[in-house]
Amino acid sequence: MAKASAQFTCTSCGAVHRKWTGRCDACGAWNSIVEEAPLSAGPKGAVSRGRSVALSTLQSDEPPPPRTLSGMAELDRVLGGGLVRASAILVGGDPGIGKSTLLLQAVAAFARGGLRCIYVSGEEASAQVRMRAQRLGLGDAPVSLAAETNLRDILTTLDEERPDLVVIDSIQTMWLDSVESAPGSVAQLRASAHELVTFAKRRGVSVVLVGHVTKDGQIAGPRVVEHMVDCVLYFEGERGHQFRILRAVKNRFGPADEIGVFEMTGAGLSEVSNPSALFLSERGQPAPGSVVFAGIEGTRPMLTEIQALVAPSPLSMPRRTVVGLDSGRLSTILAVLEARCGIPFTGLDVFLNVAGGMRVSEPAADLAVAAALLSAREDVALPADTVVFGEISLSGALRPVSQSENRLKEARKLGFTCAMLPAGGKLDREAGVGLREMTDLTGFVGEVFGAG
Ligand code: TYD
Ligand code: MG
């Protein structure tokens, strides 16, 4: 039999390659591939037949899994309506974004609600965690603390203590003595997460794993364990902004794409229950290049301001700078504007930004982006009381988007009286918002900017 050769694993996404390459084909990360010992092929010798597994049906009289609410409404929403027993949750995010703060507050809230909670820190000493808890006013919450990185010891402790909820901060610092590689390697990360997830299912304990998103290949990132857990949440935000967004990208017990909005203050994270009002609160007089987009995040409508700046460029390759939106999407919209409407952006620098550090990934933002670009280019401000949404197809046609009514309702709630949107969507005409419906981008340009 051929000798099992070493395998090469991407530390960013966990993809396995036969050869080392500088760039991972699966996720596109550079310099993220490391050599790993191959998985064991199992015991040698006679192949045993295995035993048959008991099968069951889909029918069940069991009630749905019980959920526990933390009382932090934004967190409960992202979890899909509370914490599910025996579930494994991964919370990823950049270092320093506030994961430890969020989980300390969450664990204190659950503990005050009667759950037995253990917080295991592999990064900070107990005294440091205690100090932070005191500063956040959580000193009285009945949370048990441990500072430990040896997973074998942690699992033994958990087996004795039988808690309801365990937070492991962070999974990259944990190590198992049975795995022969350094803490933070793909092999350690996989094995540790596997042990913890198995423990969660077997003992009915909810486990939260914290994972740092890493930029280089030294430490494996949380994407490596995404497939093992029930729920994947990412905590995001721009460094310069105080807003933080907790986003569910996978949830076996609830809707994905749901978001919770928090604000980082001197006394920890506080919840933002009306994000639209907050994201629009900094908006001043209507200015060219500023457009309000009526978006949907998960099940919740959310208004955000999209800002564009267009200026003559001294460069032979003009700049395209995007914050909070997909840069590929910007290129597409610029191409459609040029090819279908005859409005070129050659020789112009384009800057595009979503105010407040929000990230927008819906195609429904296309029309708002186009409107912001045109408004900046023509130096014409859109009316202050108008929201915009709609998808742009490559032909230049405008496509209706889902949940138009929810978007309009939210717009009306925040005092907007007019909406520009694609024609043909199913709508309640009595929404209380004036509708300017358009079928294609050329028509939009003509109607709004009198050009095209
Ligand atoms: P932390 O939760 O330690 O981040 P992570 O665990 O994701 O690495 O948060 C670190 C940042 O949060 C730090 O830069 C300071 C800031 N912060 C506040 O602004 N207010 C607070 O009350 C706390 C606890 C932290
Ligand atoms: Mg931390």
Asked if residue 388 has pLDDT above 80, the reply is yes
pLDDT at position 430 is 63
* pLDDT tens, position by position, 9-43: 888 888 888 888 888 888 888 888 888 776 666 56
Report the residue among 101, 128, 241 best suited for mutation to probe ligand 1: largest number of ligand atoms under 8 A from its CB: 101
Asked if residue 348 has pLDDT above 60, the reply is yes
Task: Give the residue whose CA is nearest to atom 12 of ligand 1.
Answer: 98
Tell me the pTM: 0.82
Task: Give the residue whose CA is nearest to atom 25 of ligand 1.
Answer: 268
Q: Under the phi-then-psi rule, with left for phi > 0, alpha for psi from -120 to 50, and beta for the rest, what region is 184?
A: left
Residue 359 Cα to ligand 2 middle (Å): 23
In DSSP notation, 226-259 reads: GGGSSEEEEEE--TTSSEEEEEEEEETTS-SS-E
* pLDDT tens, position by position, 298-327: 888 999 999 999 999 999 999 999 999 999
**Which ligand gives the minimal distance to the CA of 168?**
2
Report the residue among 173, 210, 236, 264 best suited for mutation to probe ligand 1: largest number of ligand atoms under 8 A from its CB: 264
Residues 120, 81, 222, 329: is their CA dihedral positive or negative?
Answer: negative
Nearest residue to 425 (alpha-carbon basis) of 405, 452, 409:
405
Alpha carbon of residue 377 to chain centroid:
32
Residue 86 neighbours by CB under 8 Å, 6+ apart: 65, 200, 201, 203, 204, 205, 206
* pLDDT tens, position by position, 103-154: 999 999 999 999 999 999 999 999 999 999 999 999 999 999 999 999 999 9
Q: Specify whether the CB–CB gap between 129 and 104 falls below 8 A.
A: yes
In Å, what is the CA distance from 432 to each residue of 389, 413, 424, 444? 17, 10, 18, 22
Atom of ligand 1 nearest to the CA of 103: 2
The predicted model gives 351-365 an average pLDDT of 90
| pLDDT band for position 202 (cuts 50, 70, 90) | very high
Q: CA-CA distance, 387 to 385, in Å (whole number)?
A: 7
Q: Which residues lie across from 415 on neighbouring strands?
A: none
* pLDDT tens, position by position, 223-234: 889 999 999 999
Give the pocket of ligand 1 (CB within 6 Å): 93, 95-101, 132, 136, 264, 266-268
Residue 193 Cα to ligand 2 middle (Å): 18
Instruction: Please identify which residue in the block is written with the tokens 């029930």.
Output: 230
Joined together, the tokens standing for residue 178 give: 């049975």
Residue 176 Cα to ligand 1 middle (Å): 28
Amino acid at 378: E
The predicted model gives 86-108 an average pLDDT of 94
With pLDDT > 70 as the criterion, what percentage of the chain qualifies? Answer: 95
Task: Give the residue whose CA is nearest to atom 1 of ligand 1.
Answer: 98
* pLDDT tens, position by position, 401-410: 999 988 998 8
Average pLDDT in the chain: 89
As residues whose CB is below 5 A from the ion ligand 2, the structure lists 100
Residue 149 Cα to ligand 2 middle (Å): 14
